[in-house]
Chain A
Amino acid sequence: AQKVTQAQTEISVVEKEDVTLDCVYETRDTTYYLFWYKQPPSGELVFLIRRNSFDEQNEISGRYSWNFQKSTSSFNFTITASQVVDSAVYFCALSEAAGGSYIPTFGRGTSLIVHP
């Protein structure tokens, strides 16, 4: 069973539009971690944010914001006033305890294309 669902395979927007990338997760653990990573065409995975299961505060970092809702098991990511440089694949990941370690499971990713 897929633990992290990113239902949007590809999103295409025009520059300056706001865009929200959805992430729904599934876990029975009470302690877990959620992540968002950005993967530009160069291939490197860029860490964006980490959230633990006890911290439901939403976070804003510049044009990026994240909405964590345990009631709906969602951890959505919004980019405000999108730019061409935001074009990338975005991965949501869930990390659960496994033998004392926390190893993440990645969603399938959402490819964001921002047109000028």
Chain B
Amino acid sequence: DTEVTQTPKHLVMGMTNKKSLKCEQHMGHRAMYWYKQKAKKPPELMFVYSYEKLSINESVPSRFSPECPNSSLLNLHLHALQPEDSALYLCASSQGEGLGNTEAFFGQGTRLTVV
């Protein structure tokens, strides 16, 4: 199994809603990541979890709250988002911390629209 599975694939939410994005991998990877990608832009790193602990937060607003319940799961809790937060949210995993020195696997992403 070399898949990173993200749910849902599409999400439309209002600015007062609370929702969560989910990411799952069963490759035994110990590093997991959230990226945000706006249309026609490259992915931008948001968070890195290493061994289930948050190791990097790229100054992401608190309306995005990551959670790593176990080594296979990564969640991104969303609350009071703004329309400019609409984007493709990508989850990735790799064997160890840092995508650079090991092959990284990406999910298909969740297309989020905030209305």
Interface hits, B60-115 → A, CB 8 Å: 88, 90, 92, 97-101, 103-109, 111
Interface hits, A1-54 → B, CB 8 Å: 32-33, 35, 37, 42-47, 50, 52
**Chain B interface: which of A70-78, A80-88, A101-109?**
A101-109
Q: Which of A42, A95, A98, A102 has the most CB of B within 10 A?
A: A102
In the bound complex, do residue B109 and residue A44 qualify as a contact, i.e. CB atoms below 8 Å apart?
yes
In the bound complex, do residue A95 and residue B108 qualify as a contact, i.e. CB atoms below 8 Å apart?
no
In the bound complex, do residue A103 and residue B100 qualify as a contact, i.e. CB atoms below 8 Å apart?
yes
In the bound complex, do residue B98 and residue A102 qualify as a contact, i.e. CB atoms below 8 Å apart?
yes
In the bound complex, do residue B97 and residue A101 qualify as a contact, i.e. CB atoms below 8 Å apart?
yes
In the bound complex, do residue A33 and residue B100 qualify as a contact, i.e. CB atoms below 8 Å apart?
yes
For A107, what are the chain B residues with a Cβ–Cβ distance below 8 Å? 42
* Interface majority SS (helix, strand, loop, mixed), chain A: strand
> How far is it, in angstroms, between the C-alpha of A35 and the C-alpha of B44 when the chains are bound?
15
Interface residue tally for chain A (C-beta within 8 Å) = 27
For B105, what are the chain A residues with a Cβ–Cβ distance below 8 Å? 47
For A47, what are the chain B residues with a Cβ–Cβ distance below 8 Å? 103-106
Given the interface contacts A43-B88, A47-B105, A103-B48, does A32 sit within 8 Å of B42 by beta carbon? no
Identity of the chain A residue whose Cβ is nearest the Cβ of B104 in the assembled complex: A47
For A43, what are the chain B residues with a Cβ–Cβ distance below 8 Å? 88, 90, 108-109, 111
> B20 to chain A: closest CB distance in Å?
19
For A46, what are the chain B residues with a Cβ–Cβ distance below 8 Å? 106
Instruction: Judge if A66 is at the interface, Cβ distance under 8 Å.
Output: no
> How far is it, in angstroms, between the C-alpha of A24 and the C-alpha of B90 when the chains are bound?
25
Instruction: Judge if A91 is at the interface, Cβ distance under 8 Å.
Output: yes
Instruction: Judge if A100 is at the interface, Cβ distance under 8 Å.
Output: yes
In the bound complex, do residue B100 and residue A32 qualify as a contact, i.e. CB atoms below 8 Å apart?
yes
> B6 to chain A: closest CB distance in Å?
9
Q: Which of A37, A50, A95, A103 has the most CB of B within 10 A?
A: A103
